[in-house]
Amino acid sequence: MTTKVVVGLGNVGAEYARTRHNAGFILLDDYVSRKGLTWQEKSKFRAYITEFTEGDTKIILMKPTTLMNRSGEAVRLLKDFYKVENEHILVIHDELALPFGTIRTRVGGSDAGNNGIKSLSHHIGADFARVRVGILDDELAVMGATDFVLDRFDPEEYQQLTGNLQPVVAGFVADFINDSFAHTTHSHES
């Protein structure tokens, strides 16, 4: 049986709920809810975990509890325990370099200033699959990057994220599970 891991990046805690940096958590939470699954905290992996089986593939979904900047530590623990190769790891994360409503997929690449991706690259290498969820909007120029990513999505953006964009991300997760994940761009005009 093959094991694949899908990781949503974000920060745990009520103070980070619905923040732009939690796009990975928000989208993975929605995916888990739609599949009727339930998160369980697993301290040995420093993460919330749930899993399901599709065909001969075990899919483990995870949200690190380490905070964004140390996500790689949690993913490394799970990767080593299950002996998962990087080609079987998919990470869903916010991308400050992409306009809100744009989703791009890729394997490998730079961290583009995302400290969660930087941590993953340091702990497991950079050759994992990624779903990059654009969060850039006009507020960045006013707030600065740190405040911007830790600020909450406005209600309209949040609705688009969990409405129009969620099925796109779920489709990329399905492609990853079915070995048909490819580099692509999806742009949703609001």
Helix/strand/coil percentages in the chain, nearest 5: 45, 30, 25
Closest CA to 30 of 165, 134, 186: 165
Q: What is the pLDDT of residues 129-170, one digit of tens each?
A: 999 999 998 888 888 888 999 999 999 999 999 999 999 999
Name the domain count of the chain.
1
Q: What is the pLDDT of residues 29-80, one digit of tens each?
A: 999 999 999 999 999 999 999 999 999 999 999 999 999 999 999 999 999 9
Q: Which domain holds residue 101?
A: 2-187
pTM score, two decimals?
0.96
Give the domain CATH number at 73.
3.40.50.1470
Catalytic residue annotation = 21
Closest CA to 186 of 27, 11, 50: 27
> Average pLDDT of the chain?
94
**Rounded Cα–Cα distance for residues 168 and 180 (Å):** 14
Q: What is the DSSP string of 16-65?
A: GTTBGGGHHHHHHHHHHHHTT---EEEGGGTEEEEEEEETTEEEEEEEES
Closest CA to 46 of 15, 71, 10, 25: 71
